[in-house]
Structure formats: structure tokens, C-alpha cells
Amino acid sequence: MFTRIRNLPLATKTTALTICALLLLAVSTFVVSDNAVTTEAARTASERQETNMRVAWSVLRNHGAEFRRDGDKLYVGDKLLNNWSDPVDEVKTLVGGTATVFAGDMRVTTNVTKPDGSRAVGTPLAPGATYDAVLKEGKPYRGEAEILGKWFYTAYDPIKNAAGETIGVLYVGIPKEDVVASIGDLRRSMAIAGLLIAMAATALCFLVNRAMFRPLGQMDKAMQRLAAGETSVDIPARDRADEIGRMAAALEVFRQATIAKQAAEASNAEAQADRAKAMDALGEALTGLSDGDLTVELARDFPRDYAALAHTSTARSPSSAS
């Protein structure tokens, strides 16, 4: 696999690397942005519970200023809160989310529902940090908590009687899944925007890389033709002032050197052919003269560069000596 990748054209490898980098950047940006949005939504939801708690206290105190407990029954003023859903439903209408009133650790009125859809009246507050903070220490609790199998951003306040004793708990909260759903459209928009930007940047990089590496591809073809001895090839990008232009200029020097080499080789081959022709002609002429044939003449196409040699040779022939 690595061999195949190594053998890919430089433009392809550069484009692929750029695309991978852009995709990694897009994914990283989305992850960081999504985490920031989710964190901010969680913080806002947690802060919202403070407002919801103030509204819940206001709703309850509209029915009385003090709370008291008689066995498993909890009263605000003279109003029995057990199985009275109006206060918790009013809180939901005003600020949303869920609300519950506990007598001790038992839910006596709530709009938190069980899996079957019924109100979770008569279910206890689960042991844990919330239970310990509110019922054992008499302190408010803020944070995430699991309620009947679901996670909520919550706020719990102790309900105290006139003597300052903790006799119950007031709860408000919002399901985490509702918070996540509320930013779902934003997350999808971020994902789509990131994808579109990555695609646009990828297309732009592809076009830029293609234009940038096109002269290299052209020079590669020119080098192959030049290596095959084709000196008439036109070297591209010689007018550029960058590295590619300097490479083209160097390739043009190689082309001119190849032309000069081929011209020298052709001239040398012609000289060798003339020499061989002259030697053959002189050999025949001298043979004829030595045999007494005084009519021997050199051919008219006898190489001109060897004319002096031909005159000297014939002048020293036997017939000339006699």
C-alpha cells in the first residue's frame, strides 16, 4: 500500500494531503465548537434552576407562609400538598421543567413521571449526595442528578418548619435530554456549515494544486521526450520567475546541450564516412596504377577534404616515377 502511495503523482499526493488536513480541521473545529456549545447550554440550564427555584418558592408561599408536617402529610399554611398537583404544574407552566414536593424523602406531589407516564407520587428520594446534603445537612443542593433512570439538571432546597427543622424537600429540574434537544438544531447547523466550508476549501485547493502542478506535469513529459532524443520539444514555463521557471531554464540548457551533442555526433559520423570513402577510392586508384592502368581517375564525388592526399598518392605512383 505504501509503495502505491509513494508512486502516485506529486500533485495527487499533495491534494490528498491537503484534503485530509482540511477534513481533520473541520472535524476538530466541530468537536471543539460542539463541546463549547454543550458546556454553555449545561451551564445555562444549571443557572436556570436558580430562577426556577425562586418561582417554585413563590408559588408555594402564595398558599401560606409556613410549612408543617403531620406524619406523612405536608402542609403549606392550611393547604395539604399531598396529591395536589396545581403548584407543581403552575411552576412548569411558568418556567418549564419539572417540580416536586417531598414530605421527608417521599414525593407527595410532582410532575416527574414514571416510565408508564403516571406521576411519580409515592416514590422516595434516592440515597446519595442530594439526600445527604438536603435531608441530613439541611443545605441546598445544585447539580446533576439521576431521577427514576433519567439525568436532570437539578436544584433541591430543604423545606423547614417554623422551628427550623427539615421536614421536606422542594425540587425543580430539567431533563438533560431536553437541553441536548434544544441545541440539536444548532449542532446540525454547525455540522452542515463545517462540511460545506470543508468541501468549498477542498475544491479550491484542488483547483489551485492542479494549476500549480500543471507545469511540472508538462515538464515531466518534456523531459521524457528529451530523454528519448526528441530535441524539438518545447520546454514549458520558461517565462516564470519562480522555482518552476528555474527548473524549466535548466531543462532548456539540457535541451541545447543535447542538440549540440547530436550535431557533433552527426558531424563526426559524416567525417568518418568521408574518410572511409576516400580510403576506398584511393585504394582502388593505387591498385589500378600499380597494375599499369594509367587511365585511373578519382570519382567526382571524391571527398574534397582528402583531395591533397589523393594528389600526393597519385604523384608517387609507379607511372609517375617512370
User: Which SS3 state, helix, strand or coil, does residue 22 take?
Assistant: helix
Domain-terminating residue out of 185, 213, 243:
185
Q: Given this model, what pLDDT does residue 26 score? A: 85
> 163 and 110, same structural domain?
yes
Q: pLDDT by residue (tens digit) across 58-74?
A: 999 999 989 999 999 99
- Above 90 in pLDDT, residue 188? no
Provide mean pLDDT across the span 140-168.
93
- Above 70 in pLDDT, residue 297? no
More reliable by pLDDT, 256 or 137: 137
Q: Which domain holds residue 248?
A: 229-322
> 87 and 32, same structural domain?
yes
- Under 8 Å between Cβ of 74 and 159: yes
Q: Given this model, what pLDDT does residue 321 score? A: 44
Count of structural domains, the chain: 2
Interatomic CA distance for residues 195 and 206, integer angstroms: 16
Q: pLDDT by residue (tens digit) across 35-62?
A: 888 888 888 888 889 999 999 999 999 9
Q: pLDDT by residue (tens digit) across 84-130?
A: 999 999 999 999 999 999 999 999 999 999 989 999 999 999 999 99
CA dihedral 257→261→263→266, nearest 10 degrees, is: -170
Q: What pTM, to 2 d.p., does this model score?
A: 0.59
> 259 and 322, same structural domain?
yes
- Structural domain contains residue 170: yes
- Structural domain contains residue 163: yes
More reliable by pLDDT, 7 or 314: 7
- Structural domain contains residue 209: no
> 27 and 118, same structural domain?
yes
> 140 and 61, same structural domain?
yes
Closest of 191, 200, 201 to residue 27, by C-alpha: 191
Q: How confident is the model at residue 319 (pLDDT cuts 50, 70, 90)?
A: very low
Average pLDDT across the chain, whole number: 83
Closest of 305, 298, 309, 221 to residue 270, by C-alpha: 305
